[in-house]
Amino acid sequence: MKFATKVIHAGIEPDVSSGAIMTPIFQTSTYVQDAPGVHKGFEYARTQNPTRNVLQNQLAALENGDYGICFASGLAATDAIMKMFKSGDEVISCNDLYGGTYRIFNRVFGKFGLKFSFVDMSEMKNIEAAITSNTKLIWIETPTNPMLNLVDIVEVVALAKKQGVLVCVDNTFASPYLQTPLDLGADIVIHSATKYLGGHSDVIHGAVVVKDKNLADELYFLQNASGAVPGPQDCFLILRGIKTLHLRMDRACENAAKIAAFLEGHDRVEKVNFPGLKSHPQHELAKRQMKNFGGMVSFSLKEDSIEAANKVLSNTKLFALAESLGGVESLIGHPATMTHASIPLEERRKTGVLDSLIRLSIGIEDADDLIEDLNIALNA
């Protein structure tokens, strides 16, 4: 089944009790049993919920995996993955990643004895140097947030397999429409479904997809045991959002390419980070690894100061100043003071998150209007 058919049909059947074509929102906490232990596969709604089941099957199909496990947020999904490990285990992560992921690694799981190293994954030798006999997982974000660097999933997987280390890919930025890491050999895919999967900035949600039954069993156990489950209404909203993922993503990619080209030609702009630009150092890898280049663009200004960035940030009218990404509307943000404020200054500068760096999440509006909005703000 091709992607556009999958988003409408995979894992989705009309409701057996009514024929409803849209998956009902099973807003219930428990299920009546015919006799003790005799039930229809549903006992208690932390453990199973029919709306959530449909979404889990749909997500597994989109990522070409076998098991989907949904959570109350992307970070709750990360939390569950980390709870598969124990004190003394080591995780190697890319050094340019979502601020909240960095925070939960260091400040939550660090306390329980998990060890994290953050490396520049553009060179495999950096990963090789960080691997020890205690390394259990390599965590990849690609494209990265907010620098839009890529990590070569195939290369990392080859290295990890030799060492018996699991590979997890945060696929939030690309979405399964542009990239399916399990097909490239990754063991675990994680999403903040809050972003492109939901797509309408109206729900917080997270998901994990795997192929391996043992990994799935462990994650289902943690989903139930720790209990950070999404409500059925939120699952419904993600199911609804996914139906147009390919259409929204196509438009976002098209708009982002036009906006990146515009920014690259603007005389106040120092550097534009977008995998679709020929000037992007990993443009060839992007063409190989992704179906298209995504809807995220970041750029720095010639005058590298928070004040210069603020002038742009406060003068757009269509681009709303807000955290998050992946919705139908365009957003503008300032990583240094917003999404990445939890990363220490030194770490932040090392990865290129400069004071003037501005991040754009490109929506599905008309590209000409978006460019005009940015042009006015840049010339303000």
Ligand X SMILES: *Cc1c(COP(=O)(O)O)cnc(C)c1O
Beta strands in 52-178 (DSSP E): 67-71, 90-94, 115-119, 135-141, 166-170
Burial pattern 263-284, b for ≥16 Cβ within 10 A else e, equals: bbebebbebbbbbbbeebebbe
| 75 lies in the binding site for ligand X (CB under 6 A) | yes
Torsion angle of the four alpha carbons 155, 159, 165, 171, in this order, in degrees rounded to the nearest 10? -10
| 234 lies in the binding site for ligand X (CB under 6 A) | no
Select 98 or 319, whichever has its Cβ closest to ligand X.
Answer: 98
Is 195 a residue of the active site? yes
| 246 lies in the binding site for ligand X (CB under 6 A) | no
Q: Could you tell me which of 372, 373, 370, 363 has the C-alpha nearest to residue 316? A: 373
Whole-number Å distance between alpha carbons of 299 and 261: 11
| 295 lies in the binding site for ligand X (CB under 6 A) | no
| 275 lies in the binding site for ligand X (CB under 6 A) | no
Select 182 or 378, whichever has its Cβ closest to ligand X.
Answer: 182
| 100 lies in the binding site for ligand X (CB under 6 A) | yes
| 292 lies in the binding site for ligand X (CB under 6 A) | no
Neighbour order of strands in the sheet with 269-273? 269-273, 296-301, 358-361, 331-333, 320-321
- Stretch near ligand X under the rule CB under 6 A, chosen from 14-22, 23-31, 67-75, 258-266: 67-75
Q: Which of 6, 67, 79, 98 is catalytic?
A: 98
Name which of residues 166 to 225 contact ligand X (CB under 6 A).
170, 172-173, 192, 194-195, 204, 206
Q: Which single residue brings its beta carbon nearest to ligand X?
A: 74
Select 280 or 359, whichever has its Cβ closest to ligand X.
Answer: 359
# chain residues binding ligand X, by CB under 6 A: 16
Is 46 a residue of the active site? yes
Q: Is 347 helix (H, G, I), strand (E, B) or coil?
A: helix
| 102 lies in the binding site for ligand X (CB under 6 A) | no
| 118 lies in the binding site for ligand X (CB under 6 A) | no
Omega before 143 within 30 of 0, i.e. cis: yes
Whole-number Å distance between alpha carbons of 67 and 193: 16
Q: Could you tell me which of 89, 152, 88 has the C-alpha nearest to residue 120? A: 152
Which residue(s) pair with 128 in the sheet? none
| 145 lies in the binding site for ligand X (CB under 6 A) | yes
What is the smallest separation between the CB atom of 74 and ligand X, expressed in angstroms? 2
| 101 lies in the binding site for ligand X (CB under 6 A) | yes
- The count of C-alpha atoms lying within 13 angstroms of the C-alpha of 15, restricted to the half-sphere facing its C-beta, is 12
Is 359 a residue of the active site? no
Whole-number Å distance between alpha carbons of 326 and 122: 25
What is the smallest separation between the CB atom of 141 and ligand X, expressed in angstroms? 6
Residue in 23, 51, 58, 73 binding ligand X, rule: CB under 6 A: 73
Q: Catalytic amino acids?
A: 46, 98, 170, 195
The site for ligand X (CB under 6 A) is made up of 73-75, 98, 100-101, 141, 145, 170, 172-173, 192, 194-195, 204, 206
